[in-house]
Amino acid sequence: MTNDAAPAQSWKVTLPCTRAEAEALDGDIAAFALMEHPPVLMTSEAEDDGSVWRLDAYFEGRPGPAAIKLLKTLVPSAAGVKPQVEALPDEDWVTISQQGLEPVTAGRFHVRNIAGDPELPGHVNLLIEAGRAFGTGQHETTAGCLAMLDRMRRVGMRFRNVADIGTGTGLLAFAALTLWPRAHAIASDIDPVAVDISADNARANGVPLGDGPGRLALVTAAGADHVALTGRAPYDLLIANILAGPLIELAPSLCALVEEGGSVVLAGLLNEQADAVIAAYRRQGMRLAERSDRGDWPTLHLRKRPAIGWKRPRRIDRAARGEAPGFGSI
């Protein structure tokens, strides 16, 4: 006789939505952050011409009125629509929902979300199974960061101390260690589940965990205020693929972790939010080095200016702080 409780039955809530709403839902959903078992959200085209999209939310256990009301706030266009709520058969619905995901190629990286998909010759192949954390490579923000990091390496930039803030699945930290394999690296997330998932993904992709060159340290942390992050600073490369609001709010603390001449790669913002994000980082002594747009989602590469005024300016050591003219790509 066992005392183990039977797993809760899975339920699905379906609502219509617009394409813009569907794209916005590919980021972290703060509305469900406090739920013990947040739903898995999947969006798809309900009509072949792209005029109607659909949101499917998968819940562990029957969702209550409050959860459904919260879900409807994510798709304002469906305000007057009665959601379709249904119990699902006792199947692995997460795996089933992932079967339509196509691999994503960005720069030299080829990211598969299903283990059975073939690897792509001549590329860095990474396996990030879709599930409970954001950052599978499917969204334009993650793919944009991968392409930006690849381009930075191709022009000869070198980094020795890397931080990935809001890592999600760990993908961007894995990519950075692939490009700069002797770097020290740390990845953080406010969600301990995401940190656990990143550890699992690291093992699945052969990324060694721990301290030291070529290894990835993982920590649960809100923003940049954690001794594990501040103790390893300053960084010559900091990556933050989160949302525009947190990026602006965290600008002072994130920039304080970056050394003079160091690079910051930001994503998770929309085109109309880019100017406000850039302005927030310029106020912290950063300058825009490059911007790359994928659809409505820009990726920003900024550099930290040398200190001026009462602080003595220091010459930027290009080899140590991100630039190494004369070196080609790997």
Residue 146: strand, helix, or coil: helix
Using an 8 Å Cβ cutoff, are 148 and 237 in contact? no
Determine the Cα–Cα distance for residues 87 and 12; give it in Å rounded to an integer: 6
Q: Which residues of 4-31 are buried (b: 16+ CB within 10 A; e: fewer)?
A: eeeeeebbbbbbbbeeebbbbbbbbbee
- The answer to whether 296 is annotated as binding is no
- Phi-psi region for residue 217, left (φ > 0), alpha (ψ -120 to 50) or beta? beta
Residue 68: strand, helix, or coil: helix
**What one-letter code names the amino acid at 140?**
E
Using an 8 Å Cβ cutoff, are 130 and 142 in contact? no
Determine the Cα–Cα distance for residues 319 and 323; give it in Å rounded to an integer: 6
CA angle 217, 151, 251 (to 5 degrees): 55
- The answer to whether 161 is annotated as binding is no
- The answer to whether 241 is annotated as binding is yes
Structure tokens at 16: 């219509």
Q: Residue 118 contacts by C-beta under 8 Å, 6 or more apart in sequence?
A: none
Q: Residue 167 contacts by C-beta under 8 Å, 6 or more apart in sequence?
A: 135, 173, 187, 188, 189, 194, 195, 198, 218
Please name which of 327, 278, 274, 324 lies closest in space to residue 303, comparing C-alpha atoms: 278
- The answer to whether 210 is annotated as binding is no
Structure tokens at 4: 């183990």
- The binding site comprises 142, 166, 189, 241
- The binding site for S-adenosyl-L-methionine comprises 142, 166, 189, 241
